[in-house]
Amino acid sequence: DRAILEASARHPIVPLEKGKFYTYGTAGFRMKADLLEGISFRVGLLASLRSRKLNGQAIGVMITASHNPAADNGVKIVDPLGDMLEQDWERYATALVNAPSDEQLVEVYNRLTTDLKIDLKIPAKVVYGRDTRPSGHKLVTALADGLESTKAEYVDYKILTTPQLHYLVRATNSEGTPLSYGKVSEVGYYEKLAEAFVRAIRGRRINGTLQVDCANGVGGPKLSEFLKYIPKDKVSFDVKVVNDDVLRPEILNLDCGADFVKTKQRAPPIPKPQPGVRCCSLDGDADRLIYYWADPESGFVMLDGDRISSLAASFIGDLVESAGLKDEVRIGVVQTAYANGASTNYITQHLKLPVICTPTGVKHLHHVAQGFDIGVYFEANGHGTVLFSPDALNAFKNTEPQSPAQKDALDTLAALGDLINQTVGDAISDMLLVEVILAHKNWTLRDWAMTYADLPNRLVRVEVGNKDLFQTTDAERRLSHPEGAQDEIDQAVKKYKDARSFARASGTENACRVYAEAASRSEANELAERVARIIE
């Protein structure tokens, strides 16, 4: 207790206005970096408890604010398999962080220890990393103090992408077991991806240059490092890395990156878009991916998370069929309400695959995707991955092929199992997946975009007095409160062709979001404005 008290005094929590609390939201604790030092310290205490509760398995902590401005930062906990912190524990995180004094912090810590029956004699292990934000340095110092004051063993992996930290957590916990996820090092991550990439490409050609905008974040140096691991004699992959300046923190995510491209629906102004070049953007911590190109005729064409999802589902579905596993391996796609209706139609009607809709936030999608043998999940914003069950991976490895084509499909599926990050959405891994699929199909981005036409859509942010009044049901597609609001939205939607609209409270800021889609751009805009007025 003394150790925690003394250390906590060095990392005070900034008190909020009366009645306000810090909350562990969809992205952990995220806010202006100068509020986070005490929070980071206290997250260290929780990570120790969580590790001890899980018998000393390694827990991860990632310091990042992803696509948010450079002045923000965030602290997020990663569970032993590399997935997000178990939902029940979000409450405990909130309780520790909101303890008003150092003494009360110790009280909460002790109470959690007793209530959760945690044996403090079990060794605790925590691994952590941070993105390129300058504030990260101070936050990991506070975190390390929290870990030391609770006598946890820890490894500081310094600067990493978020998915790399998730990889390291899983690799640490599976080391030396039959389910080993890979070598426990950053190099191990690169080696695993490069090896699987070569196997998945199977000698096919990657056409032209890929220009990758790295949001001036951690993805830049990490992608450049990864590229060194691709054997040039086996795959020729011409990548031009742009917006990879991490030395000027103020330009992080500024007019570039996946969130900029998706929300502004245009290419980053720098470097000047070259017509026809295949481009993609990562976000500030490299867990989101958006593809696009500047077209001399149609202007800008974007291929977002829904497109990556349908591309992956189509390719993997075909492989499973060629591999003769159609009856054994159940494939499903998981989306949120933001998924373009055209993508949902394409997946259900053309690909004939089931689609499940969940509330926003990776943890929800991930969880539902685990219910399939192959679960494809992406948010429209470009965050997502494909999960393979142990049964599916065994089937790829152990099925006796009856023809060269079947062998080829099985080998490609097995390679994808290693190429695709199984812990969380990973922009670098997802980008390699897209490149593999385009190479196999010998497709350009235009061919990919031709598979279906997106419904015009509009997303607006609405300032409201109290966003908590807006409660949803049906995976956020309908409002249950305030009463009557949903009826009004239904009336508005009825006035437009092929229309759909919903309103939900943001999980990351104090506002509501309204999404609308309809047969034409002007109708989508009009509907969005109408619904915005209803909830204002």
| Residues with catalytic function | 66
Selection from ligand 16G, Zn ion, none that 285 binds (CB < 5 to 8 A by kind) is: Zn ion
Cα of first residue to Cα of last residue in the chain, in angstroms, is: 49
Is 27 among the residues that bind ligand 16G (CB under 6 A)? Answer: yes
Collapsing DSSP to helix, strand or coil, 147 comes out as helix
Cα dihedral: 184, 185, 186, 192 (round 10): -50
* Region near ligand 16G per CB under 6 A, out of 3-11, 190-198, 447-455, 505-513: 505-513
Token pair of 267 as six digits? 């290419």
Selection from ligand 16G, Zn ion, none that 381 binds (CB < 5 to 8 A by kind) is: ligand 16G
Interaction pattern, residues 324-363, with ligand 16G; x per rule: CB under 6 A: ------------------------------------xxx-
User: How many angstroms separate the CA atoms of 416 and 179, rounded?
Assistant: 16
User: How many angstroms separate the CA atoms of 36 and 27, rounded?
Assistant: 14
Question: In what helix (H) or strand (E) does residue 356 lie, and over which residues does it extend?
Answer: strand 355-358
Selection from ligand 16G, Zn ion, none that 145 binds (CB < 5 to 8 A by kind) is: none
Q: Give the residue nearest to Zn ion (CB).
A: 66
Site for ligand 16G in 427-486 (CB under 6 A): none
Smallest gap from Cβ 27 to ligand 16G, in A, equals 4
Nearest to 131 by CA among 242, 280, 246: 246
Residue 303 has phi, psi (to 5 degrees) of -120, 105
Question: In what helix (H) or strand (E) does residue 32 lie, and over which residues does it extend?
Answer: strand 29-32
Q: Which is nearer to ligand 16G, 67 or 500 (CB)?
A: 67
Q: Which is nearer to Zn ion, 52 or 67 (CB)?
A: 67
Selected from 56, 271, 276, 507, the binder of ligand 16G by CB under 6 A is: 507
Is 23 among the residues that bind ligand 16G (CB under 6 A)? Answer: no
Site for ligand 16G in 510-529 (CB under 6 A): 513
Q: Which is nearer to ligand 16G, 271 or 507 (CB)?
A: 507
Residues in binding contact with ligand 16G, number by CB under 6 A: 13
Nearest to 163 by CA among 420, 513, 533, 477: 420
Cα dihedral: 177, 183, 184, 190 (round 10): -150
387: β partners: 375
Selected from 94, 399, 508, 525, the binder of ligand 16G by CB under 6 A is: 508
- Residues contacting residue 382 through CB under 8 Å, at least 6 positions apart: 258, 262, 283, 288, 289, 290, 304, 305, 308, 425, 427
Q: Which is nearer to ligand 16G, 27 or 436 (CB)?
A: 27
Selected from 26, 94, 101, 399, the binder of ligand 16G by CB under 6 A is: 26
User: How many angstroms separate the CA atoms of 51 and 294, rounded?
Assistant: 48
Smallest gap from Cβ 74 to Zn ion, in A, equals 10
Q: Which is nearer to ligand 16G, 335 or 360 (CB)?
A: 360
Q: Which is nearer to Zn ion, 244 or 287 (CB)?
A: 287
Selection from ligand 16G, Zn ion, none that 509 binds (CB < 5 to 8 A by kind) is: ligand 16G
Is 169 among the residues that bind ligand 16G (CB under 6 A)? Answer: no
Interaction pattern, residues 357-386, with ligand 16G; x per rule: CB under 6 A: ---xxx----------------x-x-x---
User: How many angstroms separate the CA atoms of 39 and 23, rounded?
Assistant: 11
* Beta strand pairing call for 238-242 and 209-213: parallel
> Given the rule CB under 6 A, which residues bind ligand 16G?
26-27, 360-362, 379, 381, 383, 506-509, 513
